[in-house]
Structure 1
Amino acid sequence: LCQEFPDVFAWSYEDLKGFNPNLAQHTIELDPNTKPVRQKQRPVNPHMEPLMRKELDKLIESAIIFPIKHSSWVANLVPVRKKSGEIRLCVDFRDLNRASLKDHYPLPSMEQILQVVAGSERFSLLDGYSGFNQIMVKEEDQFKTAFTTKWGTYAYKKMPFGLSNAGATF
């Protein structure tokens, strides 16, 4: 299938078509008694900065993130080195997650999934490339995903991993 229909698969950020926002968007509902938190920028290993900048540029070019000037919520960017030597840009959303109202969508446990497929003759596995980044964050909630870097402050247009209800939305 991959060779016959390569245009329907995403192999890079630029290939992501996204999910129709009229069907689903990620919302971030907050406890009304919570005050916004602006984390102070933490130092980063200077050797990681070129890799961070490169990854940020990819996210900007792919319209996953955008520069933002003002946000009452600001988190820190946390670069994590992959086995390949590349980095994954994570955001410390702990403060935002504590303030978020939890979606109680019942995600099945691995044990429940295994019980359902037990005895089956065939199995298939789908792994969506950057799946979360294909779902839009509702426009009025995007500012809540802001994060700070030495190059400026950015926010997510598309749903990042690390948000408390992202799994339920996905």
Structure 2
Amino acid sequence: MELQLGQVLSQMMETMKGMQLQQAQLQQALQSSDKTVGGITLQPYDEQNESFSSYLQRLQNYITLKGVTNATVKVQIFLNCIGPKHYQIIKNITAPEAPEKKSIDVLIKLLQKHRTRTGEVALQHKFCLRQQQEGESIANYVAGLKGIGDQRQLDLVYELPTHGNEEEVYEIQKINHGNNMQNEKFNITLQINGKFHTLELDTGAAVTTCSAEYFKNNFGNLKLTKTSVKLRTYTGEILQPLGTCNVNIKYRDSQGRVFIIDRKVDPVIGREWIRKLNIQFDINSIHKEENDITEKEFKEKLHKLLEQYRELFTEEIGEINNFQATYRLKAGTSPIFLKPRPVPLALRDQVENEIDRLEKEGILEKVAYSQWGTPVVPVIKQNGKVRLCADYRATLNKNIEDDNYPIPRIEEIFLS
């Protein structure tokens, strides 16, 4: 334990010395840079109040204002202002090589990859639990959701209405997640411009989109037409399409426009094509597998099971059949009778009623005389009712012989 603690402290001291050395080198380098923006400082990265992309923007602005062009100085600025926690993460990722030997672009990509891998589930959970606080405006609430979505780099969508001469904005969706049994995509194969294409049906997207790479590989002979329409993602990011093109669809001898965007996304058929091609979704019928049961069948089977084993699910106190519990008193034990403890007047009626109930159910038995007497301890339950307990510490417990039996280990139980 002492050796491990010493290693941790040594590692922390090494990290702090490295940051102090970088800070000294950074100050020396900045003193020789452009003096026209003197006094400007770069605050360390604060993951609680800003996204990593926002920090990178601040970092780039700072480097630009300072007129720093030396690659080594850029790396020192980045490592000095990333904070102790993330500096240690970068150092662990790049080990055994020192992070100072890598370029700033490589360090940023390594940290982004690490953050995406470790924080995706936590941020998704945070996004789902984000609630509008008391007194919080709708605008601030939506801004908070967008901030979490921006950290996740998800492009879920919502639709913005347009009015009058306002610029036309359509929502789109970027497909980030893989295809699996619980997140299966709805694909459709169409013959477009003489070739077959498999595209995803997405009712959340207003228009049909594809990436610039997909357009180049499949519709490179078509001419792009400039458009004033803009696309908006769920995070509020506005995308300006590279243009649109019209394609011939053999199904129903139709034509449709495709928006080309400079993103690596799968081709998606939006509502514009869905309406034009009159694509129908059979969402009211459910495919039933061999072992699947309906809700009605489930309720019937559950009711039958509860009736068959009614004695196991009854509200009454159960009994162990064909077994009688016995207590062995230590030799020379004399009976102990303690006077009852005073019960608060506010609980007296509840205690009497509980005693009567336990007697009716056969748990307690009324006697006229006893050599043993243990005081009752009433305990108030969360629902306000009384639970009757007895303080046997001063009467039976210290006079009963213990049954000592070795408890088997879990390995022995599994092997038996």
Equivalent position SS for 1:35: coil
Equivalent position SS for 1:75: coil
Q: 2:378 touches 2:387 (CA, 8 Å); kept in 1?
A: yes
CA distance in 1, matches of 2:325, 2:373: 18
- Structure 2 segments unaligned to the other structure (5+ residues): 1-300
CA distance in 1, matches of 2:354, 2:406: 33
Structure 1 residues 43 and 2, CA gap change in structure 2 (3 angstroms): farther
Q: Aligned letter for 1:81?
A: I
Aligned-pair Cα RMSD in Å: 2.6
User: What are the within-5 Å matches in structure 2 for residues 1-170 of structure 1?
Assistant: 3=303, 4-6=305-307, 7-12=310-315, 15-20=316-321, 22=322, 24-94=323-393, 95-107=395-407
CA distance in 1, matches of 2:405, 2:360: 33
Structure 1 residues 74 and 2, CA gap change in structure 2 (3 angstroms): farther
The TM-score, its normalising length taken from structure 1, stands at 0.56
Q: 2:306 touches 2:313 (CA, 8 Å); kept in 1?
A: no
CA distance in 2, matches of 1:78, 1:89: 6
Structure 1 residues 59 and 107, CA gap change in structure 2 (3 angstroms): farther
- Structure 1 segments unaligned to the other structure (5+ residues): 118-170
The higher relative CO (CA closer than 8 Å, separation ≥ 6) is in 1
Q: 1:10 touches 1:16 (CA, 8 Å); kept in 2?
A: no
Larger Rg computed on CA atoms: 2
Per the TM alignment, residue 16 of structure 1 is displaced from its structure 2 partner at its CA by 3.4
Superposition misfits of 4+ residues, deviation over 2 angstroms: 1-4, 8-12, 105-108
CA distance in 1, matches of 2:369, 2:378: 23
CA distance in 1, matches of 2:348, 2:306: 37
Deviation digits for residues 118-144 of structure 1, max 9, x if unmatched?
xxxxxxxxxxxxxxxxxxxxxxxxxxx
Per the TM alignment, residue 57 of structure 1 is displaced from its structure 2 partner at its CA by 1.4
CA distance in 2, matches of 1:44, 1:91: 13
Structure 1 residues 52 and 70, CA gap change in structure 2 (3 angstroms): same
Q: 1:2 touches 1:9 (CA, 8 Å); kept in 2?
A: no
Aligned-residue identity in percent: 31
Equivalent position SS for 1:90: strand
Per the TM alignment, residue 65 of structure 1 is displaced from its structure 2 partner at its CA by 0.7
Structure 1 residues 5 and 32, CA gap change in structure 2 (3 angstroms): same
